[in-house]
Chains A and B, each alone.
Chain A
Amino acid sequence: MARQVLSNRTRRQRLIAYASVLPIFLYHFILIVLPTLNTLTASFTNWNGIGKKQFTGISNYIELVGDPNFITAFGNNIKWMIVFLTLPIMLGILLGYILSGVKRGRLFFRAVYFLPYVISAAIAGKIFAAFYNPYFGINVALKAFQLDFIALDWLAPKNALFSVAFVDMWHWWGFLLVIFISALQQIDPLLYESARVEGASELQKIWYITLPSIRQTIVFIVLITMVWSVSTFEYVWVMTRGGPGSEILSTMLYKNAYFKYRAGYASSIAVVQMLVSFLIFAGFGALRKRMED
């Protein structure tokens, strides 16, 4: 009898659990899973984006491998990823470490550094495009300080990718800072106190206490940075439309889908992006497992 009651209760609890996740599952299934499957099937067709799909096997993937634009765009995504994996993360940790020691005005500093994150890509892109103007932008200031040698054509093809990445970093690293400050505040102050008593330097504190303590957060940030670097779009689109020197996978995808009537080919680019993201997730899953072990 007791077992029967327990069984009914368990069943009811399961039912409630399923009912609770059902809305979000349906939401995810309709808006993520189905379109993903649709993209996957479209990548094996010569779909123009509006008409009927005609199966063409793996021809889109064969073309992709030999497409110099794809190679360039993929390479630019890798460059983008490298930039974002270094500067903003290092800055975020360093400034987070400094700010977490600030007793007064911490909220003010946090708000100031976080502010760029709430500005839309369209607005930030337009503002920085004006800064980059060779006639009346930052170059005027650089020349005034006799720094002509760094007064570049910032949006010229050879500089465009990094100039745009800088704008995105300006927007992004405030977010990282807030995340890192939250993680740093979880560290037991006694550890620093013990280190101080033992005579550890600031660098040693960072290396032996701070970094190991926020390892999980760093791994998470590295993971999302890598995945977002594969699918980044808005800053490049707003500032250069993926023109020469700044073509990335997402802009290439967009142009093929909407300007060239090659939605099938665009889908194959999306599938590659998805696969790369999966690989990154899988790699990190394995890494996390090793860390936990």
Chain B
Amino acid sequence: MKRIGLMVLMMLLVLTVSVYAGGEQESSEGPVFEVSSNVTEEGQVELLGKLFQRFVDEYNAENGSNYSLKFVSGQGMDIINTRMSSNNKPDIFSIDSPADSNEFAGSGLLLDLTEYAEQYSWDETIFDWAYSLAKVDGDVMALPFGYEGMVIWYNKEIMKELGLDAQSIDTLPEFEAAMKKASEADYIPVMLGSQDWPWAQEWYLSILYSYTGRDRVKKTIEGVEGYAWTDEAFAETVALYESWHDKGYLADGRSYVLTSDDAINLFTNDRALFKLEGTWAPYWMMPLEEADQNKIGVMLHPAINDIEEPHMPLAVGNMWCASSDTEHPELAAYLLDRLLDQDIQSEFLDVGYDLAPMQINESEFEGLIPVVEDMWNVVNGALADGSFGYTTWAFYPPETRVYLYEGIVNVLEDKITIDEYLSEMQRLNQKELEQGFNPVIPAAN
């Protein structure tokens, strides 16, 4: 009896170990190809899963292969970092930014896609700035996908009530006058909430630093001699931001007390004139009533000096990469290239997913709600002019970036001075360059 008990126990043990240690096996139908994506929105997950399945089926039909697809979603940077440091890597996967693909490539985790990029003529398909982001030390290591930028949203009704016209708010005096008017009328001039989403602070700082001077930002990040975060130009910009906070223009002086949901609620409930957010904002506009959607307008943030015209700080939504461990590089490159198909871009638009960074046919934008259509006009207009700047999350070294948005709250709280804040940014930027951070920053017009 005891022997039987012991045997049952051992069998259970073996079963447990095999369940946990077995991992993914190739199915009897053929090799499994794993695609890992960071998307979490239900519609986007469904669409990507469906599209990749279709692409794999077509590849199998064209090549007589019998791959089966394993599609995994919701794989944020924490998960993908862990997986890529394990022996169980996906074949292709998406990560957040060029700074991330830079780090991954430096660790030898990415498949060199240069020959496939040439085979599929990516350099002729995607925008030049995007193609430059694909490269690390001259080799194509990722496919930048999606483009997003910083814009400013406004409430058309409040704008009208205050006798303002969005088209004529272009300069700093005009912008400050509009904010003053809104504040006097008991509206919150600019809404921003970063309590549960600290990255919201960097949305605004992306604009302000880029507007300080794109060439200056680029050279400062690259560590070019004679440029530093401690320069007077940056100090003036931070002082301007602080003055808006102190005057209550910036979220009533509570930008780091309000949450991201608070910011959306207060803006959509007609409590704020402007809302600072990027081109991903349609995700919360789509579910609004039509009348509420129509109240919202979009524009580029007005200039803050005479050096830079209003422009759009730009970021890529994703970097699609292939693992250096993949045993199916041909299929990996094929799937990445298929994401650039013109005729699937409208499907991406429908679910609010990123668009391929390439010239999209105008017909693809038809049928969108007016504010989203307006937004794409602003975005595509800025891109056509080469009028883009640099978002912090796409181009800045990682530690510098984190300090940038966390440290600013200490400035606004008067816990540190502007000089101390910028000195620390400079120290971290310098340290990261010395530790091997390789800036990939396309030159802007």
Contact = CB atoms under 8 A, between A and B. Distances in A.
Given A51-B108, A129-B195, A157-B413, A258 B9 contact: no
A255 B78 CA distance: 10
A153 B254 contact: yes
A193 B398 CA distance: 67
A155 interface: yes
Contact of B271 (A125, A129, A135, A244): A135
A160 B406 CA distance: 15
A194 interface: no
Contacts of B261: 126, 129-130
Contacts of B107: 48, 50-52
Interface in B202-255: 254
Contact of B196 (A20, A156, A240, A258): A240
Listed residue (B78, B398, B401, B413) with the most chain A CB atoms within 10 angstroms of its CB: B398
A50 B198 contact: no
B103 interface: yes
A89 interface: no
Name the prevailing secondary structure of the B interface residues: helix
A50 B109 contact: yes
Contacts of B84: 50
B81 A258 contact: yes
B13 A22 contact: yes
B81 A50 contact: yes
B299 to A, nearest CB: 25
Nearest to B9: A19
B196 A259 contact: no
B85 A133 contact: no
A19 B10 contact: yes
A14 B160 CA distance: 85
Interface residues of A, number: 43
Bin the interface of chain B by size.
35 or more
A130 B261 CA distance: 8
A15 B109 CA distance: 46
Interface in B1-51: 2, 5-6, 9-10, 12-13, 16-17, 20
Interface string B78-113: 100110110000000000000000011011110000
Contacts of A136: 265
Contacts of A262: 399
Given A12-B2, A259-B398, A259-B402, A135 B9 contact: no
A133 B254 CA distance: 10
A22 B195 CA distance: 47
A49 B265 CA distance: 38
A25 B108 CA distance: 36
Interface in A217-258: 238-241, 243-244, 254-255, 257-258
Interface in B109-131: 109
B262 A238 contact: no
A239 B197 CA distance: 9
A54 to B, nearest CB: 11
A260 B398 contact: yes
Interface of A: 12, 15-16, 19-20, 22-23, 26-27, 30, 48-52, 125-126, 129-130, 133-136, 153-157, 160, 238-241, 243-244, 254-255, 257-262
24 contacts: A16-B6, A19-B6, A19-B10, A22-B13, A23-B16, A30-B20, A50-B84, A50-B104, A51-B85, A126-B261, A153-B257, A156-B254, A157-B256, A157-B409, A238-B196, A241-B198, A243-B195, A243-B198, A243-B256, A244-B413, A257-B78, A259-B402, A260-B402, A261-B398
